Amino acid sequence: MPKVSLAAAFLSVMCLSPAYTQDLCNDAHMKQMDQMIAEMTDAAKQKEATAALDQSKAAMQKGDTAGCMKYMDVAHKAMGL
């Protein structure tokens, strides 16, 4: 649990800081999000987070940073971040 809390705190700081906003739309962060979602225990929230992350990844592939961040925010909220 502390591992998840530390990751949540780190992601929260990154989300609140404009300098890091674009850094969330990259393959490394997507991989981290996949791992965190896989560790979720609430199936409904996990499904919601997975769907949002899939949309975020699709937007990233299109080069749509605003769309990527929009769905990343939805995924973060579903994860309780």
pLDDT in tens, 28-49: 999 999 999 999 999 999 999 9
Is the Cβ–Cβ distance between 59 and 67 less than 8 Å? yes
Whole-angstrom distance, CA of residue 46 vs CA of residue 36: 10
What's the predicted TM-score (pTM) here? 0.71
Lowest average pLDDT, out of 21-35, 36-50, 53-67, goes to: 21-35
Per the structure block, which two tokens stand in for 22?
Answer: 């674009």
